[in-house]
Chain A
Amino acid sequence: MAIVTQSRRAACWNPSDALSNRILRLRDEYFSFETRPFRNEVMPFTTGTPWDTVYRYASWTIVPEILPFLKAYEDSLCAAARVVPLPNGFWERPLPVRVALFFAEVLAHHLPVDILEGELIVGGQFNSALSLCLTRSEARQRAKAAEAFRMAASDTSNLGLGNCGAVPGHLIPDYPKVLRIGFGGIVEAIRRAQDSEPDPARRDVLESFSIACRAAGALADRYASEAERQALGAAPARAAELREIAAVCRKVPWAPAETFHEALQALWLTHMLVLTSESYPGAGVSFGRIDQYLWPYYQRDVAEGRLTRDDAREFVRCFFIKPNYAYDYQGRVGRHQGINSSFGQLITLAGCGPDGEDRANDLTYLLLDVIEELNLLEPKPNVRLHARTPDRLLTRVCQLLSRAQGAPFLLNFDETSMRGLRWQGLPEVDLWDYAPVGCLENTRQGDDRSGTVDVNLNLAKAVELALFEGCDQASGKQIGPRTPDPRAMRTWPEFEAAFRTQLSFCLRRLVELNNQADTTRARFEPTPYLSALVGGCIEGCRDVTAGGARFSYITVEGVALATAADSLSAVKTLVFEAKRVSMEALLRAVDRNFDGDEFLRQVLLNKAPKYGNDDPEADNMAHNLTHWWAEEAATLETPLTKRRYRGGYLSWNYGIAYAPLTSATPDGRTRGTYLSNGVAAVPGMDRAGPTAAARAVGDLGLEVIPNGASHTISLPPSLVRDTEHVEKLAGFLRGYCVEGGSALQINMIDAATLREAQRNPDEFRNLIIRVTGYNAYFVNLGREIQEEIIAREAPCR
């Protein structure tokens, strides 16, 4: 950075030197995928029928980049699958029971049991591809539906409209229930429900839950036996640990956890089996407010002298390494795991209680310490901030942000988040107890599946369709309704109406397509194990895939908000109001991808209002756009499972995938240039600093976006170069609570990014360098000075 003071610049984030040899070894082992003997690669299991499948298209159709390969994945996993001998009478049982029995067989006899050297929390192999356990007739019906969906999903995505799918994960199972009453207690509760349930089909559903819960107990026993076996040949210290592990696994997760160690072991095994049961490597299966529900175990052990703070730390470190093994799913892809490089198993820290006071405790701070020490990707921490967040917590969070280039946390803001959940219709009484899943998607804990990444709508495509009367610009194909020729329009409201017609069309096309995926999953892909862990399923005798969760929604994530809003603003102000640009010229330029129209493109880039600058004109457009689609989404519902749709702004990496599939846009963007991300401004267009950007996000009216909105900002590392400045960051976050959105992540930019800024100055025009009173845009500085600034930046790994 331009500013170097006597304070030392924050070092790059690295694992702590204070980690024990045990943890360093376990951490290194995790990172040595190529050489280590244990690999948690996907392990397929089949019933052995010729029509079996172990792969679910709709789990992956939201990843446009892999759409062409789905069929190949399905075939090769099936070919590689191990045949599992089936219990007698298997095929006579109803589908949910078959699925549960198959799961139980795999857990009892086939899933490998691995305990790594030195680890205290066990549970190794979990990535799986389990048979769908369908009869020939079921398989035929499902294949027809799944294939039709796959084709339609490909078409829709290839047109750049967006994507959808019945995606696993993305919820917070009721883990505290397992800690409290154990699977034994859950089985008992299911038995009581069965006793009072007259309908045989519903009793079968409950039976499937019960079988799945017992299977978890059986796997824990296998781990206990393995620990006992390893103890025989181990050195005395390790043998003692292994005997302790064995005792813990004999007890939990079947019986209630009583100690911190038991709670962590029960939590890990229960969690990893969710990933196994859904045949999905964990994306979005989240832990919720771990510092709250683990606190009693921690506190009691410490108070009663069973546990020191250091012991607790070592257990937590062991626990935190485990979720990282989800990435073995694609270990062979190598280091560059690209679009799939994030399986957000979130933990939520701090946040308000029912009285508005913060709930951070000693365990919260311990968890923060471990996050800092370990320098690992998973579990991904979200910290909940609100008006009453104590200074101690905020300062610690900012300190970590500053030492880690902003990397470790996503910040969730309670007031804005709760406003959205209230608007969605969740009960007021425990809104305070929400937690995010996946990245930042807000849900209830333990009884809510809100399909948080199931539908992804490219808002910029609706702009293209409005410009070209419903036609895809590249192919000329009529895909949307035929709206009027914009060249014949005299006023903005005419164009707005055409846009809204196309927007509504895009939304409904995706929702209808997604309804197919949801229905197919509900009919053919029950997940009894997960259902037993989601509130509402046992009570309603309904699988979670069939809409059994007490709160069951599906989220439409808006993609390219800023690109779309800026495009609309440019049309409104430059074409209809200032009349500086004719619609004729605009359409011609967009059609030619601005080839030969650089002058016009620059006018669009520089003379129209841009979202993200606290400019009412531009920000109102983004606000209106948000409300147009999100309010309509909230009126839609799935036909079979009766899940209502709700809005979100995650947008993941779709700005890349849909960049070449979206025509040039009236904001001056050429086809192929990335679409905007989340609720952030178009890259380089937010030039009024982070407070203005925060206010623009706040002005979106995010209550209609109950899922939450992804806001990413970059700040120069110099902002946090000393304690005084770290406190300014804290002040900014407190201000963001009042003025900003629901979720924020901060990048403290590095030399590599500054290099990028040199190569693409247009995208980095907002990058401000400050030197005590002097301010300048980095890209406006002379080349030599840029070099000097970069040279002062220590290269980050």
Chain B
Amino acid sequence: MTATSIEATLFNIQRFSTEDGPGIRTTVFFKACPMRCPWCHNPESIRPEPEVVWHAGRCLGDRGCVDVCPEGALRAEPSGIAIDRSRCRGCGTCVDFCPSAALEIHGHRMGVDDLVETLLKDAAFYAKSGGGVTLSGGEPLLQPKAATAVLRALRERGVHTALDTCGVATENTLKAALQWTDLVLIDIKTVDPERHRAFTGVAFDRVRDAARTMDESGVEVWVRTPIIPGYTADEESVRRVARFVAETFRHCTRHDLLAFSNLCTAKYAQLDRPFALADTPLLDANDMERLCRVARDAGSPHARWSGPTRVADPES
């Protein structure tokens, strides 16, 4: 199998990424995710198909896009351009047409060779900062051939590789990817089987099995736990996650508690989807400090937290 024939569906390639692993990185966002977390901050990552969105602030009101759509999926309404998502095939004709970039498409296909070439542009910055490339999403392992080919090609060129995964993958897929992975970022949201299934739509067993496979492979692991009010932002939940981390990972060097963020509200609206947590207030910094201590006390010594909080910095 050559990399040449493989394509990936991505929704973004983020250069100078500083939050997805060590150093300066490029993060590749793979489109499609097996989980359905209600707090997801990248709603455009969830579905496999390309999705068109409309930015009201940029629209000239020309409405030429309505005419060029080969599927008749666009309508000009008093409130703006409405997208009939049952008709839109994501062909991008309207996006090409729109002069002001008011129409944007999330999701494009790219050959692995081209992708790798793009990722290598910042090789000097990776090397000088101890950075590299992070595959994220969505879930990169839903596109296992592409993800593995990218990891391999980068690793063979001496680039540090990180895989940001929700842990939903078959053992073989995971093992194949881990072979070329220097660092795994894995989400452990909750370890309660019922809650896990209720929140994400996926059984925790699958995540647990993946976690064990990772640990056996010896790869360095960073665990990430979203702290979501009404879902995971309680001491018991965090304590159990921390215990699980302590019991499962011998090579975990960092455990990030990520405070709930509502910055994605506008994105949901653009995708014509409800955001269940739109009215949920941000957490308090003191709560995050407390949960962080809980995690450390429960056996996850590398626990730390970040993210937006309700309370401003102490000095402001």
**Interface residues in chain A, defined as those with a beta carbon under 8 Å from any beta carbon in chain B:** 2-6, 8-9, 11, 598-600, 602-603, 605-607, 614, 688-692, 695, 719, 725, 727-728, 730-732, 734-735, 737-739, 761, 769-776, 779-782, 785, 788, 791-794
- Proximity bits, B121-135, A CB within 8 Å = 1, else 0: 110110111110000
- The answer to whether B16 and A689 have CB atoms under 8 Å apart is yes
User: Quick check: A6 and B304 within 8 Å, CB to CB?
Assistant: yes
> Which single residue of chain A is at the shortest CB-CB distance from B124?
A738
Q: Is the CB of A735 within 8 A of B18?
A: no
Please report which residues of chain B, range 275-306, place their CB below 8 angstroms from some CB of chain A when the two chains form the complex. Answer: 285, 288-289, 292, 304-306
CB-based contact B121/A774 at 8 Å? no
In the complex, are the beta carbons of A769 and B263 less than 8 A apart? yes
12 A-B pairs whose Cβ atoms sit less than 8 Å apart in the complex: A4-B309, A606-B101, A688-B15, A691-B15, A695-B121, A734-B128, A738-B124, A776-B267, A782-B265, A782-B269, A785-B263, A785-B266
Asked whether, in the complex, the Cβ of A691 is within 8 Å of the Cβ of B315, the reply is no
Q: What are the residues of chain B within 8 A of A11 when measuring CB–CB?
A: 315
B20: chain A residues at CB < 8 Å are: 773
- Interface 1/0 per residue, B243-270 and A, CB below 8 Å: 0000000000000101001111111010
Is the CB–CB distance between B16 and A690 below 8 Å? yes
Question: B41 to chain A: which residues have CB within 8 Å?
Answer: 771, 773-774
Chain A residues contacting B24 (CB-CB under 8 Å) are 691, 728, 731-732, 735
Residues in chain B near residue A792, CB distance under 8 A: 308, 312-313, 316
Given A11-B315, A606-B99, A773-B41: A692 in contact with B15 (beta carbons within 8 A): yes
Is B230 close to A, CB under 8 A? no
Measured CB to CB, the closest approach of chain B to A203, in angstroms, equals 57
Inter-chain CA distance A4–B60, complex, in Å, is 36
Question: Are A728 and B308 within 8 A (Cβ)?
Answer: no
Q: Determine if A776 and B125 form an interchain contact, defined as CB atoms under 8 angstroms apart.
A: no
| Chain B residues, CB < 8 A from A791 | 312
Give Cα A297–Cα B292 distance, bound, in whole angstroms.
53
With contacts A689-B16, A728-B18, A775-B12 taken as known, whether A5 is within 8 angstroms of B23 at the C-beta atoms is no
Please name the 5 residue pairs, one residue from A and one from B, whose CB atoms are nearest each other, closest first.
A731-B129, A735-B125, A734-B128, A689-B16, A602-B99
Question: Would A738 and B128 be within 8 Å (CB), given that A690-B16, A770-B19, A774-B42 are in contact?
Answer: yes
Contact A774/B263 with A6-B289, A6-B305, A728-B23 known, Cβ cut-off 8 Å: yes
Indicate whether A731 sits within 8 Å of B313 (C-beta atoms), given known contacts A607-B99, A691-B15, A692-B15.
Answer: no
Q: From B42, which residue of chain A is reached at the shortest CB distance?
A: A774
CB–CB A731/B308 < 8 A: no
Interface centre among B12, B60, B292, B308 (most CB of A within 10 A): B308
Complex contact A8–B261 (CB within 8 A): no
Assess whether A9 is in contact with B121, with CB atoms less than 8 Å apart.
Answer: no
Closest to B266 in A: A782
B36 within 8 A of A: no
Q: Which residues of A contact B122 (CB under 8 A)?
A: 691-692, 695, 735
Kindly list chain A residues whose C-beta atoms are within 8 Å of the C-beta of B266. 780-782, 785
A4 to B128, CA, bound (A): 26
Cα–Cα, bound, A368→B17 (Å): 29
The residues of A that contact B237 with a CB separation of less than 8 Å are none
8 A Cβ contacts from B5-27 to A? 12, 14-20, 23-24
* A400 smallest CB distance to B (angstroms): 19
Minimum C-beta distance from B313 to chain A (A): 5
Q: Find chain A residues with CB under 8 A from B136 CB.
A: 773
Residue contact A771 to B307, C-beta cutoff 8 Å: yes
Partner-A contacts on B (CB < 8 A) = 12, 14-20, 23-24, 41-42, 55, 57, 60, 62, 98-101, 121-122, 124-125, 127-131, 136, 164, 224, 256, 258, 261-267, 269, 285, 288-289, 292, 304-309, 312-316
Residue in chain B with minimal CB distance to A693: B16
For A691, list chain B residues within 8 Å (CB). Answer: 15-16, 24, 121-122, 125
Chain A residues near B164 (CB, 8 Å)?
A: 773
A186 to B18, CA, bound (A): 55
Q: Is the CB of B19 within 8 A of A772?
A: yes
Contacts of B256 in A (CB 8 A): 772
Residue of A nearest to B64 (CB): A599
For A5, what are the chain B residues with a Cβ–Cβ distance below 8 Å? 304-307
In the assembled complex, which residues on chain A have CB atoms less than 8 Å from the CB atom of B261? 2, 771, 774
Contact of A732 with B100 in the complex, beta carbons under 8 Å: no
- Partner of B125 from A732, A771, A773, A775 at Cβ < 8 Å: A732
CB distance from A548 to the nearest CB of B (A): 43
CA distance A782 to B55 in the complex (A): 11
Q: Determine the distance from Cα of A782 to Cα of B265 in the docked complex, in whole angstroms.
A: 8
Docked Cα-Cα span, A772 to B121, in Å, equals 23
Q: Name the A residues within 8 Å of B316 (CB-CB).
A: 9, 792-794
Q: How far is the CA of A728 from the CA of B24 in the complex (A)?
A: 6
Determine how close the nearest CB of chain A comes to the CB of B259; give it in whole angstroms.
9
User: Closest CB of chain A to B117's CB: distance in Å?
Assistant: 12
Beyond A5-B304, A8-B314, 10 additional pairs, beta carbon < 8 A = A4-B312, A8-B315, A599-B60, A603-B99, A735-B124, A771-B41, A773-B224, A775-B14, A775-B17, A776-B263
Tell me the complex Cα distance, A772–B42, Å: 12
Contact partner of B285 among A4, A739, A782, CB < 8 A? A4
Tell me the smallest distance from the CB of A111 to a CB of chain B, in Å.
47
On whether the beta carbons of B265 and A739 are closer than 8 Å, the reply is: no
With a CB–CB cut-off of 8 A, which chain A residues contact B308? Answer: 2-4, 771, 788, 792
Q: Report B-chain residues with C-beta under 8 Å of the C-beta of A785.
A: 262-263, 265-266
B contact residues around A603 at 8 Å (CB):
99
B127: A residues at CB distance < 8 A: 735
Chain A CB within 10 A, most for which of B14, B125, B285, B306: B125
| Interchain CB contact under 8 A, A773 and B129 | no
Instruction: Report which of B57, B62, B129, B307 forms a contact with A3, defined as CB distance below 8 A.
Output: B307
Given contacts A9-B313, A738-B124, contact A780 B55 (CB under 8 A): yes
User: Interface centre among A603, A730, A761, A780, by most B CB within 10 Å?
Assistant: A780
Question: How many angstroms between the C-alpha atoms of A687 and B204 in the bound complex?
Answer: 39
CB-defined contacts of A602 to chain B, threshold 8 Å:
60, 99-101
CA of A735 to CA of B130, assembled, Å? 11
- In the complex, chain A residues whose CB is within 8 Å of the CB of B288: 6
Q: Which of B60, B261, B292 has the most CB of A within 10 A?
A: B261
Chain B residues whose CB sits within 8 angstroms of the CB of A605 once the complex forms: 100
Question: Chain A CB within 10 Å — which of B128, B131, B224 has the most?
Answer: B128
Q: Which residues of B contact A775 (CB under 8 A)?
A: 12, 14, 17
When the two chains form the complex, which single residue of A9, A692, A730 contacts B129, counting CB atoms closer than 8 Å? Answer: A730
B263 touches A8 (CB 8 A): no
Please name all residues of chain B whose beta carbon is closer than 8 Å to the beta carbon of A688 when the two chains form the complex: 15
In the complex, what residue of chain A is closest to B102 when comparing beta carbons?
Answer: A602
Complex interface: chain B residues within 8 A of A725 (CB): 18
Closest A residue to B122 using CB positions: A691
Q: Are A739 and B12 in contact (CB-based, < 8 A)?
A: no
Give the shortest distance, in Å, between A769 (CB) and chain B (any CB): 7
Closest chain-A Cβ to B220's Cβ sits at a distance in Å of 16
Say whether A614 contacts B121, CB under 8 Å: yes
Q: How far is the CA of A46 from the CA of B60 in the complex (A)?
A: 63
What is the chain B residue whose CB lies nearest that of A730? B129
Cα A793 to Cα B313 in complex, Å, equals: 8
The chain A residue sitting closest to B187, CB to CB, is: A773
CB < 8 Å: which of A9, A727, A732 contacts B315?
A: A9
* B19 touching A731, Cβ below 8 Å: no
Chain B residues lying within 8 Å of A690, measured Cβ to Cβ, are 16
Quote the shortest CB–CB distance from B75 to chain A (angstroms): 20
Known: A772-B256, A772-B306. A728 touches B263 (CB 8 A): no
A734 to B101 Cα, complex, angstroms? 35
Let me know if B124 and A739 touch, CB within 8 A.
yes
B216 CB, nearest partner CB in chain A, Å: 26
A607 — which chain B residues lie within 8 A by C-beta? 99
Closest Cβ of chain A: how far from B242's Cβ, in Å? 17
How far is it, in angstroms, between the C-alpha of A598 and the C-alpha of B100 when the chains are bound?
9
> How far does the Cβ of A694 sit from chain B's closest Cβ, in whole Å?
8
B18, B125, B262: the one within 8 Å of A770 (CB): B18
| A598 touching B131, Cβ below 8 Å | no
Question: Which residue of the partner chain B has the closest CB to A733?
Answer: B128
